[in-house]
Amino acid sequence: MLSPNVYLALKVLTAASGGVLAEYRLKAIPPERYTAEITAALDANDGDLARSLVALAGDRHIAVPQELTARIAALPAVDLGNVLWQGWSCVVNGDFDSEAGFACVVATDMTGVGDVRDLVGEGGNYLEGKPVNYFTLGIATVGLGLTASTIASVGSTLPVRAGASFVKAMSKLGRFPPKLAGEIGVALGRSVDTAALAETVNLAREFRLGDMQRPLARIFNPRSVAVVSDLATDFGTIGRVGGVRAMKLSAEAADDVQDVKVMARLADRYQNRYLAVIKLLGHGALRLADLMLTLGGWVIGGVLWLIGFGLFVTRTTTRGARLISRGVWLLVRPPRIAFAG
């Protein structure tokens, strides 16, 4: 009389969107994997990842060899040489792999020069009927608005501004998920206000940033802008918790906007352990893949059970009805009268 795991299957499918799948998968990782990953991180001089892995291991009551904890304790708090190299790499190549390199990206974007260039370039293409990268145009538009609000709020919206800078930088490097960029680009491309874009482009060419804010807010409809702003907010949340490495690993694992939202929820949940979680699980933090066959078997079993139960109820009801009707007939049938011959 018990349905074979159908309720559990539906519960897993529902909970997956909230990031619970990561906890399920973490339980299956053996302690040896933590030791191997921490060793690899230390050998690569990746102190942030090593510390995050140790924090996650401690949270899961997994012992870390003493020699590894000693190596982590010996790491410098700040690697000045690496900081200078990352800053130089950002200036020369536009790439970034650390907080120092990414700080250069955000600082550059705060001037508004890059966003204005992208707005004029892609906006001009749109007005001239040329091919347009709507994703780049949307990020530049939202980025300029965030720069103004960050300055006006004395930095309170800096994490969101950082998220937008990260998305734009990854796109320029060709390392942003194409499917995710395409999804946002399609939403933006359907909502362009040509008159507002033309006015904004003309003002941008003169670098009149103060006068741009009113037409800038009308280029895309609020719903499309919200998609980009939410994406920037989610990546900003990930960056605040796990830094640049966590943002990059999250971008590699995500395929659409919903994936990034799940990643942001995971970042909020695991905090300083998030970098380790995404390094260990990757796409597994989001994807059901290997679980689908099991879940499908449970659902099919449940459907067969329901069919069987329905047949059982039907047969039982039919038999019961027959018995009841026979009993009623016996009670109400007229008595037989015998006549003498």
Mean pLDDT lowest for which of 239-243, 283-287, 304-308, 317-321? 283-287
Enter the tokens of residue 154.
């004395």
Q: In 3D, which of 27, 19, 17 has the Cα closest to residue 266? A: 19
Per the structure, how many domains does the chain have?
Answer: 3
Same domain, yes or no: 151 and 56: no
| pLDDT of amino acid 54 | 92
Q: Looking at the whole model, is its pTM more than 0.75?
A: no
Same domain, yes or no: 115 and 260: yes
- Would you say residue 129 lies in a domain? yes
Same domain, yes or no: 134 and 198: yes
* Confidence category of residue 1, pLDDT binned at 50, 70, 90: very low
- Would you say residue 83 lies in a domain? no
- Would you say residue 275 lies in a domain? no
| pLDDT of amino acid 55 | 92
Same domain, yes or no: 262 and 126: yes
For the cut 60, the answer to whether the pLDDT of residue 183 exceeds it is yes
| pLDDT of amino acid 36 | 93
- Would you say residue 12 lies in a domain? yes
State the CB neighbour count (10 A cutoff) for residue 193.
15
Same domain, yes or no: 122 and 63: no
Same domain, yes or no: 115 and 263: yes
Please answer whether residues 108 and 101 qualify as being in contact, where contact means their C-beta atoms are separated by less than 8 angstroms: no
- Would you say residue 239 lies in a domain? yes
Same domain, yes or no: 33 and 137: no
Same domain, yes or no: 118 and 211: yes
Domain encompassing residue 33: 22-73
- Three-class DSSP labels, the chain: CCCCCHHHHHHHHHHHCCCHHHHHHHCCCCHHHHHHHHHHHHHCCCHHHHHHHHHHHHHCCCCCCHHHHHHHHCCCCCCHHHHHHHHHHHHHHCCCCCHHHHHHHHHHHHCCHHHHHHHHHHHHHHHCCCCCCHHHHHHHHHHHHHHHHHHHCCCCCHHHHHHHHHHHHHHHCCCCCHHHHHHHHHHHHCCCCHHHHHHHHHHHHCCCHHHHHHHHCCCCCHHHHHHHHHHHHHHHHHHHHHHHHHHHHHHHHCCCHHHHHHHHHHHHHHHHHHHHHHHHHHHHHCCCHHHHHHHHHHHHHHHHHHHHHHHHHHHHHHHHHHHHHHHHHHHHCCCCCCCCC
Same domain, yes or no: 43 and 189: no
Rounded to 5°, angle at Cα 294 from 290 and 297: 140
- Would you say residue 133 lies in a domain? yes
- Would you say residue 280 lies in a domain? no
Locus of tokens 């999250």: 250
Mean pLDDT, the chain, rounded, equals 78
Same domain, yes or no: 225 and 263: yes
Same domain, yes or no: 223 and 300: no
- Would you say residue 341 lies in a domain? no
Same domain, yes or no: 238 and 302: no
pLDDT tens-digit series, residues 214-261: 888 888 888 888 888 899 899 999 988 888 888 888 888 888 888 888
